[in-house]
Amino acid sequence: MTVADRTAKAVAMNDQVAFAEVIEELERRKIKADSDWVLDEFLLFALLVGSKSFRVGGDLCSAIINERHPKNPMDSSLHGALRSLSENAYAIEGGFSFVKLVFCDLIGQLRIDSLVARTVYAELTGTGLVAELDNFPKLLAYRAFDLLVQKGIEDKLDSMDSIVAAIEARSANMSIRDWFKIAIAMRPSVVAWIVGLLFVLCSACFSAGIWFTSSIESKSTNSLPKSTISEPAPVPDTANVGKEPLP
């Protein structure tokens, strides 16, 4: 396992002992501008996160950053963002602000307001920056997108909860006019869905009522006792009583 992998694992597992061991190992090395580990952006970022989380290794991070020399504008912008983080300048502004966004999230100090969201989103979408990034900075950019989306979803949920809570608090005193205003403010598709649902419910209740009434009538008819009245007996013929039959 490389030193970069061990550093990232120690940070991910919140293992302060393992991180301190990595710092001790690196402090014994000579920092050279052309050393692979000095030029490793992933390692440097992991060291910065660990140094702020465990409060160890800050001097090593500063020494590495001072020895690095950017070769192009992209490297210069990333270098400036990493230097700001090593100096505890966490304001999410300037070039490569998305790097600071992800860093603050990892150390538990992320605060995204509308200005921060617009700043990072504009940088990632309006300049074609992401397509030109190297692998690791591009990974940070994708993570910054995720954080912005997550923040947007949370804000929408909070707003909806506030709206529902306000309606519940005032429902007892709301007039028909107030409910009508709420219906007007809704999207037509939502209103149509609600009306359709009410129609289905009313139809179901009406059908259930008809079935219930028919069932009661059927049971009442079947429960009536059968008639016990017999047919009338034949009336005797009294006209020929006492008369002898004709020969």
Question: Which ranges of the chain does DSSP label H, i.e. alpha helix?
Answer: 3-12, 16-27, 36-39, 41-54, 58-67, 73-86, 97-106, 114-126, 129-132, 135-170, 176-185, 188-222
Residue 49 within any structural domain of the chain: yes
Contacts for 161-169 with beta carbons within 8 Å, 24 or more apart? none
132: in domain = yes
Say if 70 falls within a structural domain: yes
- Asked if 120 and 202 sit in the same domain, the reply is no
Other Cβ atoms within 10 Å of 160 Cβ, number: 10
Is 183 among the domain residues? yes
Q: Do 47 and 138 belong to one domain?
A: yes
Q: Which residues are within 8 A (CB) of 16 and not within 5 positions of it... i.e. 6 or more apart?
A: 10, 54, 56
CA–CA separation, 180 vs 93, rounded Å? 45
The answer on 187 and 78 residing in a single domain is no
Domain housing 179: 175-211
Per-residue confidence (pLDDT) for residue 96, from 0 to 100:
92
Q: Are both 182 and 152 inside the same structural domain?
A: no
Residue 107 token pair: 């150390």
Verify that 9 and 91 share a domain, yes or no: yes
Verify that 96 and 183 share a domain, yes or no.
no
Determine contact, residues 65/86, Cβ cutoff 8 Å.
yes
206 in the same domain as 101: no
| 245 within domain boundaries | no
Report if residue 243 sits inside a domain. no
Residue-level pLDDT at 139: 93
**CA dihedral of 210, 216, 217, 220, whole degrees rounded to 10:** 180
Does some domain include residue 145? yes
Count structural domains, the chain.
2
**Same structural domain, 77 and 197:** no
Cβ of 186: how many Cβ atoms within 10 Å?
12
Angle at 89 between CA 86 and CA 91, to 5 degrees: 135
Q: Which of 37, 127, 47 is nearest to 82 (CA)?
A: 47
Residues 137 and 207 in one domain: no
Residue that is last in its domain, among 131, 164, 197: 164
What 135-142 contacts at long range (C-beta under 8 Å, 24+ apart), as own/partner pairs, is 136/41, 136/42, 136/45, 137/41, 137/78, 137/96, 137/99, 140/45, 140/98, 140/99, 140/102, 141/98
Distances (CA, A) of 166 to 170, 180, 181, 228: 6, 16, 14, 70
Q: What is the pLDDT of residues 181-237, one digit of tens each?
A: 556 555 555 555 556 556 666 666 666 666 656 666 665 555 555 555 455 556 555
- Residue 95 exposure: Cα atoms within 13 Å on the Cβ side: 14
Residues 111, 156 within the same domain:
yes
The answer as to whether 194 is a domain residue is yes
> Are 17 and 96 part of one and the same domain?
yes
Give pLDDT, residue 115.
Answer: 85
Is residue 35 a contact partner of residue 3, using CB atoms and an 8 Å limit? Answer: no
User: Is 30 in the same domain as 128?
Assistant: yes
Taking only the tens of pLDDT, the chain with its 247 residues reads 899 999 999 999 999 999 999 999 999 999 999 899 999 999 999 999 999 999 999 999 999 999 999 888 888 999 999 999 999 999 888 889 999 999 999 999 988 888 888 889 888 887 788 888 999 999 999 999 899 888 776 665 455 555 555 555 555 665 666 555 556 555 555 555 556 556 666 666 666 666 656 666 665 555 555 555 455 556 555 555 455 554 4
